[in-house]
Amino acid sequence: MAPFPLEALFGKFGMYAIYLAIGFGFGFVLEISGFANSKKLAAQFYFKDMTVLKVMFTGIIVAMLLVFSAVALGLLDYNRVWVNLTYLWPGIVGGLIMGFGFIIGGFCPGTSLVAAATAKIDGIFFVLGVTFGIFIFGETVQYFEDFFYSSFMGRFTLPELFGLPTGVTVLGVVLMALFMFWGGEQLEKIFGGEDPAKAPKLRYAGAGVTVLIAVLLVFIGQPTTADKWDTIAAEKQPMLDNREVQVHPAEALEYIYNDRVDVVLLDIRSENDYNLFHIQDAQLTSLDELPELTKTLLQKPANTLFVVMSNDEATATEAWKALTAESLTNVYILEGGINNWLDNFSGAGAETENADAALPHPKPLTNPAPGDDILRYAFPAALGALYPAATPEPHDFEIEYTPKVKLELKQASGGG
């Protein structure tokens, strides 16, 4: 699924040529829309000319419809589309500052570049002012850095804000935009003396098409995690079958102690089993909680290794499928699960000089209950990560294993 690796498909020269064509096309559209004219842009704030609102909101709803239509058809992976992270209060303050500059200078940063490219003096001076402002910001951000990074909300979008399905949210945004278009025309009539009757009639057809597509998205919906797995199963299932992603406990332990790798341990078990015993720093979660958790995991740095575990491998395998389907990279399964971890680290080798070594060790059950993902050890108390086996030292064990981990950098998603 897209985004497509442009450099792999067309080479570096072809990739830059595509970037140049997109940039030129965007600038050309802004220019023919009149966005290189500061008077036209400033007229927006006096309700005399609402071209800015009409053009920008048209771009927003068209892009929105194309993106979510492509996602609904399985052509685009939305998790790999760059979405600006939300810092609520810094964003509000920054928006007010930019709006003030927009009114005073007659440009936003993008339109000032269009004006400068067409040799308009005010556009050139605005670009110089923007450049100077960027320099001043870079030299002073240290004094308000705490505020700059405050009220972090992550990749926060309208469906999450309103708790509505994506299709319903898309339809709501389209209807809101159309109402604003109508309201803009009324303001132009009152403050600018424009006659809405002279506007192109084709705009009604465009409005009808956007509403129709939005309504279809409500009924089609967006792909579920299961749908996404079905799309990639032919490629990823052999990795499970060939045991390419099941990492030995000793290899997982090596990475836990590797300072260059950020290891996230996801324990997909019952709360009861987790309380009896879990690896130190393992995060308790469930298959039902994974979709919401994935949004946070996707923001982790590129050097993050994710290890999912259950008592054996059955539940962890389902978790691996779900995380992989949601485009999370560097996800592995703890081979044999917690049972195999205890097989390797709960015996004599765990009797270190650590004070916790005085605790009694868990004992293998002689007649464990049949079935998958059953904890096959008995524990004298529910001590969680206090057992020595929860924090074994790699140098206390000499275990041979076949390395499986191949850390991959996240695929670039652009933006900024």
Residue 397: predicted pLDDT: 84
Distance CA 182, CA 199 (A): 12
- Does the pLDDT of residue 410 top 70, yes or no? no
Residue 1: predicted pLDDT: 53
Q: What are residue 265's DSSP bridge partners? A: 307
Q: Which of 223, 233, 235 is nearest to 78 (CA)?
A: 223
The pLDDT tens digits for 198-208 are 888 999 999 99
Residue 310 · residue 373 · CB < 8 Å:
yes
The pLDDT tens digits for 114-130 are 999 999 999 999 999 99
Distance CA 166, CA 69 (A): 11
Residue 350 · residue 399 · CB < 8 Å:
no
**Top-confidence residue, 6 or 112:** 112
Confidence at 292, pLDDT banded by 50, 70, 90:
confident
Residue 302: predicted pLDDT: 86
Confidence at 2, pLDDT banded by 50, 70, 90:
low
Q: Is 414 left (phi over 0), alpha (psi -120 to 50) or beta?
A: left
In this structure, what token pair is assigned to residue 236?
């990823």
Residue 227: predicted pLDDT: 92
Q: Where in the chain is the domain with CATH 3.40.250.10?
A: 226-396
Distance CA 181, CA 306 (A): 47
Alpha-carbon dihedral sign for residues 254, 255, 259, 263:
negative
Residue 160 · residue 215 · CB < 8 Å:
no
In this structure, what token pair is assigned to residue 321?
């499928």
Which strand (E) or helix (H) includes residue 248?
Answer: none
The pLDDT tens digits for 383-406 are 999 999 999 988 888 888 999 999
Residue 87 · residue 153 · CB < 8 Å:
yes
Q: For the domain 226-396, what is the CATH code?
A: 3.40.250.10
Count of CA atoms in the C-beta half-sphere (13 A) of 326? 19
Which amino acid, 234? Answer: A
The residue-averaged pLDDT of 210-226 equals: 94
In this structure, what token pair is assigned to residue 215?
């309504």
The pLDDT tens digits for 66-109 are 999 999 998 888 888 888 889 999 999 999 999 999 989 999 88
Residue 358: predicted pLDDT: 60
Question: In terms of pTM, does the model score above 0.95?
Answer: no
How does DSSP assign 94-105, residue by residue? HHHHHHHHHHHH
Residue 416: predicted pLDDT: 42
Distance CA 377, CA 343 (A): 9
Q: What are phi and psi of 267, to 5 degrees?
A: -95, 110
The residue-averaged pLDDT of 199-224 equals: 93
In 271-335, the DSSP E strands lie at 283-284, 304-309, 331-334
Tell me the pairing of strands 377-378 and 363-364.
Answer: antiparallel
The residue-averaged pLDDT of 344-363 equals: 62
